[in-house]
Amino acid sequence: MLHINQPLKIKGITLDNRFVMPPMASAKSDNGVVSQELCAYYDEKSQDGQFGLIITEHAYINTEGKASLGQLSIADASCINGLSQLVSIIHKNGAKVIAQISHAGCQTSSEVTGKETVSASAVRLSDKFEIPHELSKDEIESIVKDFTNSAIYAKEAGFDGVEIHSAHGYLLNQFYSPLTNKRNDEYNGSTLEGRVRLHLEIIESVRKNVGDEFIIALRLGACDYMEGGSTKADSVKASVMFEKAGVDLLDISGGCRGILQNLQSLLKMQSLFQLY
Ligand SMILES: Cc1cc2nc3c(=O)[nH]c(=O)nc-3n(C[C@H](O)[C@H](O)[C@H](O)COP(=O)(O)O)c2cc1C
């Protein structure tokens, strides 16, 4: 008997099998709101209980963290109705469902967000992106609240859990990667404790507000595969910290490689400019 067809228990929730549909942005929302097209898409994907678990596409936790037009929103309570419709369809088809919640950091544009882009530090990802504003401690605190509120909305909509997005060069990955985190405070990029501080604050706050039975997953961009970037050894240590803070499920993916292709040459250019 194949292991992959066997049920898997995560806390009080049992997946019928171990096939998982990963989060994939469909751009089918109607200005952030769940559309009929989006419902039809997830209905088709979850038919016949083929996947034990569906992780829905990244949804933004606040407008500053919106990655692109057409991205799904989980930024305020008005999203709950549409999201609960989506959850009912997936549950009816026999799959469990968790919502990926995300802040794009500076991997977006002021055209999309209507605001200045933000990040751990004023480091431009590549020449395609703007130079972001470095988040202040008050702004970081409000991001923790926004992640927490989004998790609460997900619970109210009937999701079985949330997945905190910290991969693919988005905000939490920007804090995690020493290539994009040049801070010198307690969120600093020169120690692993500094690089994961924001993650731990979010995980602890979410757990406090959603209770023990709700699944908290974290998608980690576990390695940048770039000189000076995050390494697999860092991720092993970070994962232990995430689990202690309340994470039930780790979803391992890539970090900043590809997004930061031009970063090293940009940083060299910036330091040359500072010399003159
Ligand atoms: C069109 C498309 C949209 C994606 N959107 C997301 C997303 O919203 N969140 C996320 O974490 N990953 C996203 N991904 C990455 C996938 O979840 C997945 O990790 C990737 O396709 C690699 O597949 P693998 O993990 O099976 O190797 C997306 C990938 C594609 C092709």
pLDDT in tens, 91-134: 999 999 999 999 999 999 999 999 999 999 999 999 899 999 99
E strands present in the chain: 8-10, 13-15, 20-21, 53-60, 72-73, 96-102, 118-119, 133-134, 161-166, 215-221, 249-253
Encoding tokens for residue 26? 């469909």
Whether residue 25 has its Cβ less than 6 Å from ligand 1: yes
pLDDT score of 271: 46
**Topology of the domain covering 3-275:** TIM Barrel (3.20.20)
Confidence class for position 228, pLDDT limits 50, 70, 90: very high
Which of 42, 60, 153, 170 does the annotation list as catalytic? Answer: 170
**Rounded CA gap, 200 and 245, in Å?**
6
Average pLDDT value for residue range 160-186: 97
Q: Name the residue at shortest CA distance from atom 2 of ligand 1.
A: 24
Structure confidence by residue, pLDDT tens digits, 60-92: 999 999 999 999 999 999 999 999 999 999 999
Q: Name the residue at shortest CA distance from atom 26 of ligand 1.
A: 22
Name the residue with tokens 């500076």.
Answer: 106
Structure confidence by residue, pLDDT tens digits, 207-227: 999 999 999 999 999 999 999
pLDDT for 196 beyond 90: yes
Confidence class for position 268, pLDDT limits 50, 70, 90: low
Whether residue 58 has its Cβ less than 6 Å from ligand 1: yes
Q: By the 8 A CB rule, do 275 and 197 touch?
A: no
Task: Report how far ligand 1's centroid is from the alpha carbon of 97 (Å).
Answer: 16
Q: Name the residue at shortest CA distance from atom 30 of ligand 1.
A: 24
The H-assigned helical ranges of 130-191 are 137-157, 171-176
Active site residue 170: yes
Ligand 1 atom showing the smallest separation from residue 219 Cα: 11
Q: Where are the domains of the chain?
A: 3-275
Q: Of 98, 96, 100, nearest to 7 (Cα)?
A: 96
pLDDT score of 15: 96
Whole-number average pLDDT of the chain: 93
